[in-house]
């Protein structure tokens, strides 16, 4: 049952990953990891809808984990003088927190632009 649901909804899962990560190169890796998590869970599902929802949730959570991993890895490459120039927000003195908030805003802007572009293409 899981394999049929996975195959039938592959485009939806791919879209979810792409919209969260905005990185086409990571899509297959994230989907493979999510599918492995689903198989390792060995859960029994009473309905196909329950199985689909579990798979979708696993895909989303795997995306979020991957996104956080990317951000942590990229934060290591920020130069100290760049941290000093980050905007201050909500009285947070921690430079890493400020960097993460700035990146979150940039990611949200990018996603909104993609959504707007896609909406304009709809009939």
DSSP category for residue 77: T
d(CA 18, CA 15) in angstroms, rounded, equals: 5
Average pLDDT over all residues of the chain: 80
pTM of the predicted model as reported, rounded to 2 decimal places = 0.58
List, for residues 48-98, the tens digit of each pLDDT value: 999 999 999 999 999 888 888 887 777 665 555 555 555 555 555 555 566
Q: What is d(CA 6, CA 100) in angstroms, rounded to the nearest whole number?
A: 33
CB 59 within 8 A of CB 38: no
């Amino acid at each position: 049952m899981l394999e049929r649901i996975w195959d039938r909804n592959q485009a939806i899962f791919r879209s979810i990953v792409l919209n969260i990560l905005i990185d086409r190169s990571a899509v297959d890796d994230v989907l493979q990891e999510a599918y492995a998590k689903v198989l390792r869970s060995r859960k029994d599902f009473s309905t196909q809808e329950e199985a689909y929802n579990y798979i979708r949730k696993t895909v989303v959570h795997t995306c979020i984990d991957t996104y956080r991993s990317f951000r942590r890895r990229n934060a290591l490459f920020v130069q100290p003088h760049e941290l000093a120039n980050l905007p201050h927000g909500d009285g947070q003195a921690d430079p890493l927190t400020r960097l993460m908030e700035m990146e979150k805003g940039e990611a949200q802007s990018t996603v909104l632009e993609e959504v707007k572009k896609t909406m304009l293409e709809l009939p």
